[in-house]
């Protein structure tokens, strides 16, 4: 199979390199009238397209590049549990009832994803287990409490506390002081899921187009009977409703979304298979650490280490990415200092100021969903489905997300990147102290 370099994200991923098939889809050519137009072909958009089509609602989706060229085909594959925040922290902000509703929603999202893959026969290389570990001393009490609270207050008995010794044994490094292990979730090959999802959307009757960038969204006329027009260089979509599912890749398409979702580069490197290093993650779990500039890593099914981290600078050169990630790998696993790095790639994570998802009607009939803040593998799939349910007239869990207060980033589009650079540099320094 030809190896495809995403034009919107750096490097060829190990995911891309291990696919045996990645079908291409045509570009939009001409004008179409449908019930719902979707902009963006990642998990959010394609799940919405699949579920709308399945419900008999006519839908067309356009993707600027190829499906999965954004975050959905290039991420760390960690499903996690709950929202991006620990439920007890969310509880302090929004109260127990709403925090519990969001936790339950994320559990529904997890089930939805696993069921979806099973029903459609998608081998997304699911591997069980996820650990969250502390790189600083003195967090034992909090981590212990997290496990207890999950079981007692959130009805989730799958998280257990790990002391320093257990953490070292399960990770194969002494770099962390303690952690929690979650046996109720796992990690996946994200691009295999995405390829299967696009196929399912088309089979359900969604019209899906690649290499078709939306260049404008406008109302044809205000009031009842008004339609929404989505412009592209090769045609238009006219619809009653539009879903913006562009996440971190929104650019200048729609100002409310771009004021609330900021792109932040995240990078991953894959090593050669670690057959000579049986101590590294012997249980095959995924790991996310407590650094603000988080390190996340896991084993692949073929025994590689896929190691991810953010960088304060953005380079589009895979060799730079490989070198930067190698330093983090060696920092965590000194024994891997000479290991070969076979692939290095990056992508944009869409973050919001409070690190909670952004769900909003940004114009009449136009809904924007994204900003999962590094926790979107299961949530984006589920939000796409919930959007379809909402269009079909059903009350959904999406309301819990829509009720979250997500302020715009200060400083507007031009100031926010320099501000983010300063903030990340500062937090990266703090991580080292
Ligand atoms: C390196 C990396 C690691 C990550 N690791 C994890 C992880 O381990 N666990 C986790 O839960 N989450 C992780 N995430 C986040 C997760 O991948 C995302 O939350 C999720 O994939 C978002 O899906 P999406 O469909 O909303 O956006 P995307 O997959 O980014 O899709 C948006 C699409 O919109 C398209 N688009 C943009 N503008 C236009 C336009 N004008 N016209 C047409 N199309 C357009 C883009 O080309 C893109 O394909 C990671 C992300 C990255 C980048």
- Per residue in 349-383, pLDDT (tens digit) is 999 999 999 999 999 999 999 999 999 999 999 99
Q: Which residues line ligand 1 (CB under 6 A)?
A: 8, 39-45, 62-65, 69-72, 74-78, 80, 213-214, 245-251, 253, 266, 268, 296, 308, 346-349, 370, 372, 374-377, 380
Q: What mean pLDDT comes out for the span 260-276? A: 94
Which tokens is 270 given? 């894959």
Residue 240, token pair as written in the block: 């009653």
Ligand 1: which of 45, 72, 83 to mutate, most ligand atoms within 8 Å of CB? 72
- How confident is residue 48, by pLDDT bands cut at 50, 70 and 90? very high
Q: 46 falls in which pLDDT band (50, 70, 90)?
A: very high
* Residue of 333, 264, 268 whose CA lies nearest to 296: 268
pLDDT digits (tens, 9 = 90+) for 30-41: 999 999 999 999
For the cut 70, the answer to whether the pLDDT of residue 318 exceeds it is no
Q: Are 384 and 51 in contact (CB under 8 A)?
A: yes
Name residue 118's beta-bridge partners. Answer: none
Of the ranges 166-180, 213-227, 378-392, which one carries the lowest mean pLDDT score? 213-227
Other Cβ atoms less than 10 A from the Cβ of 55: the count is: 15
Reference 86, options 138, 190, 156, 136; nearest CA is 156
Q: Which two tokens stand for residue 153?
A: 């207050």
Q: Which two tokens stand for residue 317?
A: 């050169």
251 contacts 258 by C-beta, under 8 angstroms: yes
């Amino acid at each position: 199979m030809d190896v495809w370099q995403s034009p919107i994200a750096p490097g060829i991923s190990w995911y891309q390199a291990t696919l045996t098939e990645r079908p291409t889809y045509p570009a939009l050519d001409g004008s179409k009238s449908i019930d719902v137009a979707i902009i963006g072909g990642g998990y959010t958009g394609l799940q919405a397209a699949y579920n709308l089509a399945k419900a008999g609602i006519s839908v067309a989706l356009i993707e600027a590049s190829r499906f999965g060229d954004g975050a959905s085909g290039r991420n760390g594959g960690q499903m996690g549990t709950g929202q991006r925040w620990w439920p007890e922290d969310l509880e302090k902000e929004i109260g127990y009832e709403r925090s519990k509703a969001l936790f339950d929603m994320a559990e529904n999202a997890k089930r939805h994803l696993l069921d979806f893959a099973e029903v459609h026969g998608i081998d997304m290389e699911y591997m069980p287990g996820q650990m969250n570990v502390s790189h600083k001393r003195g967090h034992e009490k909090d981590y212990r409490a997290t496990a207890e609270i999950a079981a007692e207050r959130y009805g989730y008995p799958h998280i257990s506390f790990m002391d320093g010794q257990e953490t070292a044994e399960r990770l194969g490094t002494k770099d962390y002081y303690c952690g929690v292990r979650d046996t109720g979730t796992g990690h996946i090959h994200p691009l295999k899921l995405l390829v299967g999802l696009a196929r399912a959307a088309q089979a359900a009757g969604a019209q899906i187009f690649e290499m078709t960038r939306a260049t404008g969204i406008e109302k044809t006329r205000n009031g009842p009977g008004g339609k929404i027009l989505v412009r592209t260089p090769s045609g238009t979509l006219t619809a009653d409703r539009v879903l913006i599912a562009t996440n971190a890749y929104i650019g200048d398409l729609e100002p409310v979304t771009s004021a609330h979702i900021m792109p932040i580069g995240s990078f991953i490197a894959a090593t050669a298979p670690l057959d000579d290093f049986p101590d590294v993650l012997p249980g095959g779990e995924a790991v996310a650490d407590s650094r603000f500039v988080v390190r996340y890593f896991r084993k692949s099914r073929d025994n590689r280490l896929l190691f991810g981290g953010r960088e304060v600078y953005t380079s589009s050169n895979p060799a730079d990415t490989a070198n930067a990630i190698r330093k983090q790998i060696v920092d965590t696993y000194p024994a891997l200092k000479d290991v070969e790095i076979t692939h290095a790639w990056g992508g944009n994570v869409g973050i919001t100021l409070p690190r909670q998802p952004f769900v909003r009607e940004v114009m009449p009939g136009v809904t924007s969903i994204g900003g999962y803040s590094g926790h979107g593998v299961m949530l984006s799939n589920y939000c796409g489905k919930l959007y379809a349910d909402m269009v079909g007239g059903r009350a959904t869990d999406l309301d819990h997300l829509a009720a979250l207060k997500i302020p715009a980033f200060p400083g507007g589009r031009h100031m926010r990147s320099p501000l983010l650079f300063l903030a990340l540099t500062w937090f990266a320094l703090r991580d080292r102290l």
